[in-house]
C-alpha cells in the first residue's frame, strides 16, 4: 500500500501537502474558499456595523428632540457629528452618553447623576409637573449643560425636594427648560445649597414661591436668569435672594437700566436682593 508523503514548508513548518483546508477548494472565480469566506464575513460585518450605526442615530435623535441630534452637515468636523445641548461628540462619545443616561420618564431623580463626569446627559424627562430632585446632579463635576423636558400641559416643574440638586457642579453653565421654569413651591425645600459652588452657572430659570434662596457662588448669571428668580406672585412674608457681588453690582448700578429695574420688580413681590 502506498504511503502518503507529507511535505512541510521549511521556514514556517506549515503542512503544504496534503492539504485538507478551505484553501484547497477553488471557487469558480479562481479564488480559494477561505479567501471567499473571509471576504463574505467582512462584508456581513460591515453591513451589520452600518445597520447598528443607523439604529443608534434614530435612538439619539429621538432621545434629544429639540436639544440635539445627528447633524453631520453642521458638525465642527467629520469626527463629531452627534450634537446634544449644543455640544458635539464622536460616535463612541455619543454611545457612552446614551448608555449612561436615563431614557425613561421619571418623577424622582434623586442622585441619579451624582458624581457624573460626562459633559452632558440626555434630557431629563419629567412626566408630571412634580419633580423629586434631591442631589440629582450633586458633585457632577463634568456636566456643563443640562436640559429638562416638562409635561406639555404645564409651564412649571415643581420641586418637591431639591436639596443639593446642583451642588458642587463646578463646570455647570446652563440648565435649560425650554418653555418650563423650575419652581420650589414648598416651605420644606431647603434652598441654601441647591446651587452650592456653581461657579460657572450662566443660564437657569428658577424661583422660590414662599422663601428666598442663596446663589452667591455664581457671578456669571444672565439678566434673564436673575429676572426668573422673581416669582409671579408676592411672597407673603417676604424673602431674600443672595447673589454674587458681581451680580449685585449690576443690580444696584443705576446706569445699568435693565438690571437696575429688577430691584423695583422684586420689591413689588416682597423680594430683596442681597450679597455677602
Q: What is the pLDDT of residues 207-225, one digit of tens each?
A: 988 888 999 999 999 999 9
Percent of the chain with pLDDT over 90: 58
- What pLDDT score was predicted for residue 104? 66
How far apart are the C-alpha atoms of 79 and 120, rounded to whole Å? 18
Q: How many Cα atoms are found within 13 Å in the side-chain-facing hemisphere of 122?
A: 24
With beta carbons less than 8 A apart as the criterion, state whether 251 and 263 touch: yes
Residue 183 C-beta-side C-alpha neighbours within 13 Å: 18
Q: Kindly state the average pLDDT of the residues 100-110.
A: 74
Tens of pLDDT, residue by residue over 226-263, are 999 999 999 988 999 999 999 999 999 999 999 999 99
The strands making up 87-89's β-sheet, listed across from edge to edge, are: 68-70, 82-84, 87-89
Q: Give the predicted TM-score (pTM) of the model.
A: 0.80
82-84 and 68-70 as β-strands: parallel, antiparallel, unpaired?
antiparallel
Amino acid at each position: 500500500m502506498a504511503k502518503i508523503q507529507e511535505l512541510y514548508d521549511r521556514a514556517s513548518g506549515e503542512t503544504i501537502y496534503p492539504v485538507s483546508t478551505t484553501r484547497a477548494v477553488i471557487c469558480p472565480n479562481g479564488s480559494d474558499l477561505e479567501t471567499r469566506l473571509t471576504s463574505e464575513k467582512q462584508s456581513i460585518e460591515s453591513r451589520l456595523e452600518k445597520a447598528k450605526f443607523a439604529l443608534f442615530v434614530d435612538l439619539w435623535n429621538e432621545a434629544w428632540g429639540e436639544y440635539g441630534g445627528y447633524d453631520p452637515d453642521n458638525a465642527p468636523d467629520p469626527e463629531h457629528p452627534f450634537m446634544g445641548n449644543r455640544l458635539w461628540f464622536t460616535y463612541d462619545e455619543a454611545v457612552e452618553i446614551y448608555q449612561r443616561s436615563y431614557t425613561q420618564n421619571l418623577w424622582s431623580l434623586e442622585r441619579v447623576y451624582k458624581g457624573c463626569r460626562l459633559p452632558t446627559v440626555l434630557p431629563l424627562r419629567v412626566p408630571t409637573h412634580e419633580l423629586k430632585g434631591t442631589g440629582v446632579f450633586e458633585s457632577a463635576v463634568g456636566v456643563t449643560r443640562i436640559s429638562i423636558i416638562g409635561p406639555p400641559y404645564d409651564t412649571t416643574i415643581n420641586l418637591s425636594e431639591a436639596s443639593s440638586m446642583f451642588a458642587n457642579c463646578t463646570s455647570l453653565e446652563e440648565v435649560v427648560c425650554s418653555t418650563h421654569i423650575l419652581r420650589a413651591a414648598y416651605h420644606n425645600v431647603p434652598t441654601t445649597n441647591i446651587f452650592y459652588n456653581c461657579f460657572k452657572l450662566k443660564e437657569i430659570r428658577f424661583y422660590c414661591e414662599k422663601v428666598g434662596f442663596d446663589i452667591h457662588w455664581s457671578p456669571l448669571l444672565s439678566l434673564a436668569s436673575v429676572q426668573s428668580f422673581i416669582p409671579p406672585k408676592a411672597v407673603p412674608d417676604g424673602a431674600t435672594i443672595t447673589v454674587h457681588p458681581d451680580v449685585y453690582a449690576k443690580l444696584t448700578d443705576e446706569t445699568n437700566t435693565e438690571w437696575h429695574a429688577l430691584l423695583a420688580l422684586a420689591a413689588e413681590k416682597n423680594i430683596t436682593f442681597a450679597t455677602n
